[in-house]
Each structure stands twice: as C-alpha cells, then as structure tokens.
Structure 1
Amino acid sequence: MRNFWNFVLILTAATAFSCSSSAKKSDKQEESDIIQIEQKTDEEWEMLFDGKSIAKWEKFSGGEVTGWKIIDGELHNSGVGSDHGGDIITKKEYENFELFVEWKVSPQSNSGIFYHVQKGVTEKIYESGPEYQLIDGKGWPTKIADNQYTASNYSMQAPEGAEVKPVEEWNTTRIVVQNPHVEHWLNGKKVVEYELWSDEWKAQKAAGKWKDAEHYGMAKKGHIGLQDHGGLTIFRVIKIKEL
C-alpha cells in the first residue's frame, strides 16, 4: 500500500510540474506575441527625423533647409542670429494622422508645430495651418494669453491641465488629427481637443487673431511644419502614423 501511495505522489508532482512548464511556455509565447505586435506597430510609423537626416524637409518659403543644424542626433532650429533659416515643412502632405515629437525649449524661447500647412497661399506659416504652441511660458518676458501657452491651439483653444517640463528638459507631444476631430497631448496627457470647421471653431476664428487670415485652418490636408521663430528649440524624435 505504501508503494502505491508513493506512486500517486510521484504522479501528482509530475503532473503539476508539467502544467507549470506549460504555463511558463504560454507566458513566453504571450510575451513573444506582444513583442511582435509592438514591432508591427513601429513599422506603421514614418520617421520624419531620425537624428541623422532632414531630407524629408524643406523651407516653407521654398528650397533646401538652411540654418537648422543636426547636433548629437538632435535637430536645432537656427534661433536668433544671422544664420536664421526660417520655418520648415515636410515635403509630403498628410490628412489624418498621429504625430509624435520630442522637444525642449531654451529660456525665453518660442516655437510651434503646424499641420495642414499650405504652400503659396500666404507668406506666414501660422496664417495657413493650426499651431501646437511651444514656449517657455514661465520665463517669457511679456504677458501671454491662456490660449498661447504650450500645447494650446495657438490663439484658439487653451490647454487644460498641461504639465510642461522645466526649460531644457525633454517633453513629448502627440497631435492626433482625424478630420474634423483634433487632439493635443502633452507628456502623456490629453490637454486640448476641438472640431475643425464646427460652428464653435468658426466663431472663435472670426472673433480672434485669425479673423482676417482667409486660409487659416481651412485645408483638410497639408504639410507638417516646425517654426524657427525666437530663441532655440530642439527636436529629437519626430515620427508620424497615417490614420
């Protein structure tokens, strides 16, 4: 009888070990599946700046990019000085997309990220496409309005609950456009959303800074733009996924 119960205990232990091994194998398989999904997701993104080249960009005014520099894998605008390069845009146009950007500003600096930018309709980039504002809000020397702080839809919608890193620290931005819905994200938090061309949006445009800017925000497709406006702004990863 004792031999019989010993056999039962051995058989039970072996079965438990076998189940445990299967579970571990299943966990590893699940981890592998997750990695494959992430890799597939990464393949959906187009790198607009990879730390090495700005071949996918051109000057908003036309021609090759000047003034902007790649330093240690980072894209520096020309800031203030004789080598002022001006605003740049992607050579390709985008309609519905998710844009991801890593950036940081220097003290008292101001820049922006644009979308649906149109070439040839105006001499000023900000009179064409809406702008996700980037600014040293705490150190800016003059008073600015609520809808002019970082992550705002500049001079239109003010951000809510935006938490900007101190100057010269990296921030992450996501801009999601699915016409007509737009979302602004800052450091993992959604801080602005609006509907392009809605009655509310049109009323805001008519009552504000863009009332005389005929082409502002009217295009349904256009270029991504980066502003070379005042002071130094540095960009790192810039990638886009079409939706």
Structure 2
Amino acid sequence: MLVLGLVGRMAASDVNSLTEDEAREGWRLLFDGSSLDGWRGFKSERPDKNWRVEDGALVLRGKAGDLVTQEAFGDFELTLEWKVAEGANSGVIYRVGLGEANTFTTGPEYQVLDNVKAHDNHPASHRAGALYDLEGIEEDVTRPVGEWNQARIVVSGWRVQHWLNGRQIVDVDLASPAGKALIAASKFKHWEKFASLARGHLALQDHGDVVSYRAIKLRELK
C-alpha cells in the first residue's frame, strides 16, 4: 500500500498527486509517478522490466505480461489517464483473480485502444471505453493518438459503469439477467469464474503494444 503522506507537498502540476479534497474523500494513488511500488506481475511477484516509468507515466515497451496491483479491491471508483501508440491495444481489467491462466478469465475489461488503426476496432464492444466484448458504443470519443484520454470506472456489486473523456459508455449489471445474457453471447462464456469474484486485483494489459498510464487514483466504496 502506498503511503500518501506527501499529499499537498507535491507540485501542483504533478498529475500523480491527490488534492486535499480527494484525500479527504478517501482517494488513493495507485501509481506515484516515480516507481512501481504497489505493483507486481500477474504470474510473478515482481513487475517485468519492460513496464517502466517515463516522465511521470507508467509505460509498457516490449513484451512483459500484465501488470497487476498487489492489493485486491471490492467495490471501487477508479480514474486514470491513458494514451496509446498508433494501432495499439491494451485494457484495464478489474476484479482479477491470481492463479488463473489469464487476467481476463476472471476480470472484465475497460478497453484501451487506438480506435482508428488498431486491428480489433469492431464491433462497438471492442472500441475504447467499452466493456470488452460485452457493451460499447459506435461513436468514437477518443482523443488523437499521442494525447491523454481520461477514464473512469465504477464497480458496485456487479453493476459496472465506464466513462471515457467525460462520456458514459457503459452501464450494465453483469449479475442481472440482461448482464448474464451478454456474457453468454461473448467469448467469456467459456470461463465460469468470469465476473464472479467479490474482490480482485486491477491489471494493466500487455497486448504487445506501447501504452502509457498516469494519474491512477482509486477510492473504495462502502
């Protein structure tokens, strides 16, 4: 767990910091802008060297495997910023169980993508901000490649909400009959533990492309 005693002493321009209001509201930093403290590999206790810190961002360059929080979370609100290289694909996967074959066999995914040139840019449920392979929108609300996008994810029970650059993309309860029907019609129907864990880890996906994350903030919901 990161110690947040430096809140308020960081430069105001540092995106990897909390405001006094955020700290009072229970927000925490999951990335401090200078180290990989609080993170591990999905199948190893240490992050791979190809996950690195560059100019205050958490950047993947080269094959590394998914990067996972050491801590697990139940209900939460998460905000972060992301950007991708041209044609790149990644994702934020949540309520991940360790010890499984892949992060996505247990955890749903917030899709991170170059909507224009990535190969996997259709159907709508594969586009940026989507609940991957389950729900999304046709409209592209991403910023141009190389610019930062703002993501927000809220998970309460199995009600899942996604926002991208201030636009809500997803609002679905995966435990409801409608949500279970979405899963049954998706690739995830093959994994019985998918969207079943009450608590789990967050994962940043290695899809073989260059991707960057920063301003990763989370508060647990009671």
Aligning the two structures, in what range does the TM-score lie when normalised by the shorter sequence?
Answer: 0.7 to 0.9
Q: Does 1:102 align with 2:81?
A: yes
Partner SS for 1:210? helix
Distance 1:143 1:68, change over 3 A: closer
Counterpart of 2:125 (choices 140, 147, 151) is 147
The structure having more radius of gyration, on CA atoms, is: 1
1:179-198 alignment, distance < 5 Å? 179-198=157-176
SS in 2 for 1:64: coil
Aligned-pair CA distance for 1:189:
1.8
CA-CA distance at 1:42 after TM superposition = 3.0
RMSD of the TM alignment (CA)? 1.5
**Map of 1:17 onto structure 2:** none
Cα distance change, pair 105–48 in 1 and its aligned pair in 2 (3 A) = same
Aligned-partner residue type, residue 45 of structure 2: G
In 2 relative to 1, CA 216–142 (structure 1 residues): closer, same or farther, beyond 3 Å?
A: closer
Inter-CA distance 180–40: structure 2 relative to 1 (3 Å threshold): same
Please state how far the C-alpha of 1:142 moved relative to its aligned partner: 5.8
What is the match of residue 234 of structure 1? 212
Q: Unaligned 5+ residue runs, structure 2?
A: 1-18
The reply on whether 1:45 has 2:23 as its aligned counterpart is: no
**Alignment partner of 1:56 out of 38, 44, 51:** 38
Instruction: Name whichever structure is richer in helix by fraction.
Output: 1
For residue 161 of structure 1, report the CA deviation from its aligned partner. Answer: 4.8
- Size of the aligned set, in residue pairs, is 201
- AA in 2 matched with 1:39: E
Structure 2 CA distance for partners of 1:215 and 1:234, relative to 1, 3 Å:
same
One-letter amino acid of the counterpart of residue 53, structure 1: S
CA distance in 1, matches of 2:113, 2:176: 27
Secondary structure of the equivalent of 1:216?
A: coil
TM-score of the two chains, using structure 1 as the length reference = 0.79
Alpha-carbon offset, residue 159 of structure 1: 3.1
The C-alpha deviation readout for 1:9-35, integer Å capped at 9, x for no partner, is xxxxxxxxxxxxxxxxxxxxxxxxxxx
CA-CA distance at 1:186 after TM superposition: 0.7
Residue 55 of structure 2 is aligned with which of 51, 57, 72?
72
Q: Partner of 2:14 in structure 1?
A: none
When the two structures are superposed, what TM-score results if normalisation uses the length of structure 2?
A: 0.86
CA distance in 1, matches of 2:212, 2:116: 18
> Which amino acid is 2:95 matched to?
H
Distance in structure 2 (CA, Å) of the matches to 1:153 and 1:143: 13
Q: Does 1:171 align with 2:149?
A: yes
Identity %: 37
- Counterpart of 2:57, as a letter, is E
| Amino acid in the other structure paired with 2:108 | P
